[in-house]
Amino acid sequence: MSKAAVEHPAAPAQVQRLKPQEFEAIRRLAYDKFGLDLRQGKEELVAARLGKRMREGAFGSFDEYYQHVVGDHSGEALIGMIDALATNHTSFLREVAHFEFLKQTVLPGLRDRPRIEFWSAACSTGEEPYTLAFTLCDQWGADAFRRVRILATDISTKALAAAKSGVYPAERFSAVPPAWLRQFLLRGEGRWKGSYRIKPEVRSQVEFARLNLVEPFSQHSLFPVIFCRNVMIYFDKRTQEGVVNRLAACLEPGGYLFIGHAESLTGVRHDLTYVRPAIYRKPGHGTGGGVRWPT
């Protein structure tokens, strides 16, 4: 380390220790604003993930950073905190059994619809909605580009920006059939070597938007299929119940809700019918007609 680095460290050079009362304030804010259940034992995780924000803003303590977040009426500081704390790890064809069920059980009943719309409610960096698009195009061919649209929402603006770009390292596609690589992806060259980009016609099927599932949201459409996977695992039962019932209200009768295989609705009050692990269905029968896309 140079003498200059010793005499003039970055401000702050080291993140201050996260005090119990600071952790509690951040924990409560994260829970109240976006349902994240940061339990005791997560102090080091919180300190590490907020460390970059602390350094960027030259905050001398976590309390100072917290006061900045709650005092920022634009909401940008809160979004930045959410982006830092949210986990966005995913991959293409994650939990492949869901897509097999979709192909074998759900899609045959939707084939005659002139317009089919799906919702990826916690889309993270986009792997899930693009996998949906791949699956639909693989089943229905070029006709899917005309008939299918996918709403993809997430609370993280950072994740949504990555999703919209549609560029991913090659290792994210390890589970994807080779035919899909040729059909739906563009191989990167030069500085993009080792990456793929989703083809424009596939990207055009997906509409990305920011949405906080913990807050009330407008029911613009009724969907035959909603994916909301691997996000409720971070919520407590009370928050899960609110999210599940809001999602159920956006399902058409007979529609399906897919959750993560690591998640369970045991102890959560809802009116959905259990189909198989991580798949639930809304009672009733679908109309078979189109639905209105949000404007």
Residues marked active site are found at: 49, 154
Strand partners, 206: 150
Q: State how far the alpha carbon of 130 is from the alpha carbons of 193, 203, 211, 229, 255, in Å.
A: 21, 8, 18, 14, 20
Interhelix angle 62-71/43-57, nearest 10 degrees: 70
Interhelix angle 43-57/76-85, nearest 10 degrees: 140
Q: How far apart are CA 51 and CA 53, in angstroms?
A: 5
Interhelix angle 62-71/20-34, nearest 10 degrees: 30
Which DSSP state fits 93? T
Q: How far apart are CA 11 and CA 268, in angstroms?
A: 46
Contact by Cβ (8 Å): 132, 150? yes
b/e burial code for range 116-131 (CB count within 10 A of at least 16 → b): bbbbbbbbbbbbbbbb
Q: What angle do CA 233, 266, 264 make, to 5 degrees?
A: 35
